[in-house]
Amino acid sequence: MKADVILGLQWGDEGKGKVVDVLTPHYDVVARFQGGPNAGHTLEFNGEKYILRSIPSGIFQGDKQNIIGNGVVLDPAVFRSEAEALARSGHDLTKRISISKKAHLILPTHCLLDAAYEAAKGADKVGTTGKGIGPTYTDKVSRNGLRVGDILHNFQAKYDKLKARHEQILRSLNFEYDLAAAEKAWFEGIEYLKKFQFIDSEHVVNQTLAAGKSVLCEGAQGTMLDIDFGSYPFVTSSNTVCAGVCTGLGIPPNRIGEVFGIFKAYCTRVGAGPFPTELHDEQGETMCSVGREYGSVTGRKRRCGWLDLVALKYAVMIDGVTSLIMMKADVLNDFKTIKVATAYKIGSKFVTDFPYEIDGDVEPVYREFEGWQCDINAIRRYDDFPQQLKDYITFIEQETGVPVKIISVGPDREATVMR
């Protein structure tokens, strides 16, 4: 068997959680491969709503196994509050989630460093989620990090050593802090984590595939936030692209199957950084209010704009997307015209290959489509879509060379059209 992958193709929050939940019945195992509690994946079904941070989105569909892979960074305190809240609503996860021993731990001091580095950057700050993501991946790469497997041996000494290192940096940045409450919650989280199975997830995942079982890999963030290919430095600190599946779960490249790329019918971004198709007008406000575009982790208002095909085609190329999934088409129901950027005008040049830099003098070149101006939320068959929406989808397929196989028309699990 090959592992299938679900990835965000834009700047995150495309609707990955919903789609993973919808597709989970077709799989035996769901695995996260990168990111951490910077993610906020929303699932809605039976009138209930859940926002998952570190826990894979496959936990609500029967007894599927869910794996937190080695590429993920885990904050035990956040994980505990997330898992306990789910347990209170009747979802006992201890038998259904296992955690890679190689996943790195986010320490309370990583969160302080995240805040300190952001403060030091002043006006140039990235607008991180403040969850300690950058400093934790930094320690991983500089070979100073603590891993889940470390919990089992001589843990306190290892923790103290890394904490001392962090405190030295915090002092050098004149960053004031009080660690006591966060540290207490963190160690309680460590104890809670021990209820779960710590595994060599690379062996488990490969044995699962060899046994003919199916695996769905769940991405966090989006391709334009990738540390290598995103709008650097306004990115996250992991490889959000498809290659992240190989390093974040130990799946060889020739074992990757279908790559589902998710995008919104428009575009959003939360935090700082360039966003060529951003709207600063009433239309952007409408996208924000109709689409309820507020960050699921930080509550920040998401910036909204038109679909950017220059960026989308780039993401399709880097990720090797085999099927597209279009989300939130319903948010555009009332728009008279819908625009899509097909090129950037930079100075006197027209650019269609996503360039090295997109800040500064980048003017999107738009193609306009007639809006459908009707309510599509209750539609469940592709043939029943208004022609204007079909034309919009066909254009995206022609431009990207990839079929749009799923169209989402509302936040609920049921509001999904499969082709």
Among ligand IMO, Mg ion, ligand GDP, none, the one that 240 touches (CB under a kind-dependent 5 to 8 A) is none
Write phi, then psi, for 286 (nearest 5 degrees).
-65, -45
Contact between 319 and ligand IMO by CB under 6 A: the answer reads: no
- Which of 136, 296 has the CB closer to ligand GDP? 296
Among ligand IMO, Mg ion, ligand GDP, none, the one that 15 touches (CB under a kind-dependent 5 to 8 A) is ligand GDP
Contact between 22 and ligand GDP by CB under 6 A: the answer reads: no
Query: What residues contact 110, with CB distance under 8 A and at least 6 apart?
Result: 132, 135, 136, 139, 166
Task: Report yes or no: 262 and 15 within 8 Å, Cβ to Cβ.
Answer: yes
Contact between 226 and ligand GDP by CB under 6 A: the answer reads: no
Instruction: Provide the minimum distance between the beta carbon of 390 and ligand GDP in the complex, in angstroms, as a whole number.
Output: 17
Contact between 40 and ligand GDP by CB under 6 A: the answer reads: yes
Task: Report yes or no: 214 and 29 within 8 Å, Cβ to Cβ.
Answer: yes
- Which of 190, 393 has the CB closer to ligand GDP? 393
Give the type of residue at 272: A
Q: How far apart are CA 13 and CA 17, in angstroms?
A: 9
- Compute and round to an integer the Cα radius of gyration of the chain: 21
Contact between 15 and ligand IMO by CB under 6 A: the answer reads: no
Contact between 410 and ligand IMO by CB under 6 A: the answer reads: no
Task: Report yes or no: 269 and 308 within 8 Å, Cβ to Cβ.
Answer: no
**Tokens in use for 59?**
């936990």
Helix (H, G, I), strand (E, B) or coil at 365: strand
Q: How far apart are CA 58 and CA 118, in angstroms?
A: 33
Selecting among 4, 13, 226, 319, the annotated active-site residue is 13
Task: Report yes or no: 304 and 268 within 8 Å, Cβ to Cβ.
Answer: yes
Options 91, 93, 127, 247; binder of ligand IMO; rule CB under 6 A: 127
**Tokens in use for 249?**
């779960």
Binding site for ligand GDP (CB under 6 A): 8, 12-18, 39-42, 44, 291-292, 296, 327-328, 330-331, 408-411
Residues noted as catalytic: 13, 41
Residues that bind ligand IMO (CB under 6 A): 8, 11-13, 35, 38-41, 126-129, 131, 133-134, 220-222, 225, 234, 236-237, 270-271
